Structure 1
Amino acid sequence: MSTSDVTKDGIEGERQGRSALVGQGLDGHRTRRGRRSGRNGRNGRGGRRGERPVVPEAEFTSYYGKPILNQITWEPRDIAGYFFLGGLAGAGSMLAAGAQLTGRARMARAMKVSSLVAIAGSTAALIHDLGRPERFHHMLRVAKLTSPMSVGSWLLAAYGPAAGAAVVAQEARRQRWLGRRLVSAATVLDRAATAAAAGLGPGVLTYTAVLACDTAVPSWHEGYRQMPFLFAGSGLAAASGMALAVSPTAQNGPARSAALAGGLLEIASAKVMEHRLGLVGEPYSEGQAGRYMRAAEALTVAGTATAVLLAGRSRPAAVASGAALLAASACTRFGVFHAGRQSAEDPRYTVIPQRRRGESDAAR
C-alpha cells in the first residue's frame, strides 16, 4: 500500500524510485508509439530519437542460483579420450591405406594395428561413460540420419570390424605355411578391408565434432562451422605423429607431409573458431580449457617443425615430433571438452547470444 498523499503543498510521503517514468522506453524494445512512428516513417527506426534505456543491464543469475543449462556430467577422461582416439583411428586408417599403396609395408602394418587399438579404446571409453553400459547395443536398434549419435554408432559398428579384418588379413598373408590359396584369399581380404576402413576414416575422424556441436552447450554449438575442421586437423596430426613414432625413417615421408597439413589445419581452425565465436569463444582461452589449448598450440608448432625439418634424417627426432603431435591432439580434445563445460556453467554464454539474436530478428 502506498503511503504518499497529494496535498496543497505537493506530494507528501513520496517513496523514492516509485514514480512513473514518462516517455522513456526499454532498451532493445519498441514502444507502441515507436511502432506507430516506424510504420508512419517518422524516424524509420521504430521509436523516438533521443530515448534512453532506464532498465539496467541484467545480472546473469537464474532461479535459486541454478545454471540455465543442465551441466555436463560426462567424465573428461572418457569423452575427451573418446574424441582423441576416434580421430587417431580414422586418420590412421587413411595413412595406412596410402602407405600400403606406395609400398611402405612397415608403416602400413603399424598404422593398421594402431588404428584398431585406438578404435577399441574409443569405443570402450564411450561405453564406459554411458549410464547403463550393458545397453550399448540398443543404439543399433535404429538408424537415424538426423542423429549424430545414431550415425556415429553405426560408423563405429562398421569401421571396427573393417579395421580388425585388415589387421587379421595382413598377419595371415605373412604366414606362408597357410598355403597359396589361403594367402591369396587373405591378400584380397586385406586390400578390401583396408580400403573399407580408409573409406570410413573421414567419418570416424569428424563425426564426434558434429556430435558435440549438436548439443545446447554454447561453446560447442556455436562453433559448428569450424569444429569439424579442428577435429580433422587434430586427428590427422595425431595419426601422423603415430606414424612418425613407429615407422622407419626411410618410410616416413607421407607422415611428415600429413603432420604439416594436420598441424596447419588444427591451428588455423582453432584461431578462426575462437575469433568468430566472439563472446562464446572466451572459454577456449580461459581457465583449464585455455591452458589445454595453449599447450596444444605450442606442442603442435614444435612437433610440426621438428617433423618437417629433422624427422626425415633422425630417428630420435621423428619419435620426439610424433610424441609432441600426439600430445597436442590430446590437449586439443581436452581443451574443447573443458571449454564446453565452462560455457555451460556461465549463464552469460547462453543469455547474451540469445538476446543478440532476438534484437537482430526484431531489427529486420
Structure 2
Amino acid sequence: MSPKREKAMVPQAEFRSYYGKPILKPPAWKVPDVPGYLFLGGLAGASATMAAAATLTGRPELAKIGHLAAAGGALGSVGALVHDLGRPERFLNMLRVFKVTSPLSVGSWILAPFSGLAVAAAGSQLTGIFPRLGALAGWGAGALGPAMCTYTAVLLADTAVPAWHEAHPYLPFVFAGSAMSSGAGMALVAAPVASTRPVVRVGLLGAAMETAALTTVERSLGVVSEPYHSGRPGTLLKAAKVLTATGAGLSLFGRRSRVAAVAAGAAYLAAGICTRFGVYHAGVESTKDPKYVVTPQRERLAARH
C-alpha cells in the first residue's frame, strides 16, 4: 500500500500583489498612433507583395494599386510611429545600429528600406520616370513585404506584457492573416472587378489564417486568454471576426458585382483595424491585473517539478 498523503494544515494561499497594485506598468505608447502603425504597416507589406505577384502574372492595373497602397501605408506607418516617438530624430537614431537580438532594431531596418522602396516604386508608376529602377524597387518592397506584415507581432511578443508575450507562437499568424485580408480589401475597393480573382483568394486565405490563429489565442493561453475575449478588446476582436467573415462572404460575389467587391474590401479593412486595436488593448488590460503576470510563471515552475 502506498503511504497516505499528508493532509495540509493550512488552506492553499491565493496570490495577492503588494496592496493590490499592478506589477507591470501599462505600455506608454499613444493611441491611435501605435495601433495605426501596426495596421498600416501590415497593409503596406501585403500590398507590396501582392503588387510584385501581380507584375509577375501580367496584371498591371492590380500591380499599380498594390504599389500605391504599399507607399501610402508605409508613409502612414512611419508617420504614426514618428508621432508616437515625439521627434523625427528619434526614429533616425534607431537606425544608428543594427542589433540582431533586438526586434525593435531589426524592425526599424525593415521599415526604413521598405518605405523607401515602396515610395520609389509608386512614384515610378505614377510618373513613368525610371521604369527599370521603379520595377527593381517594387521587387525589393515585395520581398520585404512578409517581414513588414509580421515583425510588429514579434515586437509586441518580445515585451513583458502578458497577453502579448504568452501569445508569441500565434501572434505573427494573426498579424500575417490580417495583413493579407487588409491588402486584399484595398485591392477589392480600388481594382476593376475583372482583375480581382487572385485577390479574392488572398483575402480568403488571410481571413482563414487570422481567424484560426486568433481563436487559438483566445482559447489556449489559460488565464492570459481572458483579456482577448472580455471588455473593450473582446468587443473589438469579436467585431473583427464578424467583419472578416462578412468580407470573405461578400468577396465571393465581388467577381460579378462592383458593389459587393467594394463592400467586401471595406469589411476587410475595418476588420484589420479592429484586430490591431483589439490586440493592443488586450495587452494593456493584461498589465492591470497581477494574476496575468504571476499565474503563468507559477504554472511553468510547477511543470518543471
Shorter-normalised TM range: over 0.9
Separation of aligned partners in 2, 1:145 and 1:351: 29
Partner residue of 2:293 out of 332, 350, 354: 350
- In the alignment, which residue of structure 1 is the partner of 2:136? 192
Partner residue of 2:58 out of 84, 96, 103: 103
- Report the alpha carbon displacement of residue 281 of structure 1 after superposing the two structures with TM: 0.7
Q: How does 1:1-364 map to 2 (within 5 A)?
A: 49-52=5-8, 54-62=10-18, 64-173=19-128, 186-308=130-252, 310-361=253-304, 363=305
Separation of aligned partners in 2, 1:53 and 1:123: 60
1:227-246 deviation digits (Å, cap 9, x = unpaired): 00010000000000000000
Task: Report which of the two structures shows the higher radius of gyration computed on alpha carbons.
Answer: 1
- In the alignment, which residue of structure 2 is the partner of 1:36? none
**Alignment root-mean-square deviation, CA:** 1.6
Identity of aligned residues (%): 47
Give the letter for the 1:256 counterpart: V
Higher RCO structure (Cα 8 Å, ≥6 apart): 2
- Structure (1 or 2) with the greater helix fraction: 2
Separation of aligned partners in 1, 2:4 and 2:281: 45
The TM-score normalised by the length of structure 1 is: 0.81
Separation of aligned partners in 2, 1:322 and 1:257: 13
* Kept in 2: contact 1:148–1:211 (CA 8 A): yes
1:26-79 deviation digits (Å, cap 9, x = unpaired): xxxxxxxxxxxxxxxx96xxx9613226144324332x4431012222123011
The TM-score normalised by the length of structure 2 is: 0.96
* Kept in 2: contact 1:76–1:337 (CA 8 A): no
Question: 211-220 or 64-73, which moves further after superposition?
Answer: 64-73
- Report the alpha carbon displacement of residue 132 of structure 1 after superposing the two structures with TM: 4.5
Q: 5+ residue gaps in structure 1?
A: 1-41, 174-182
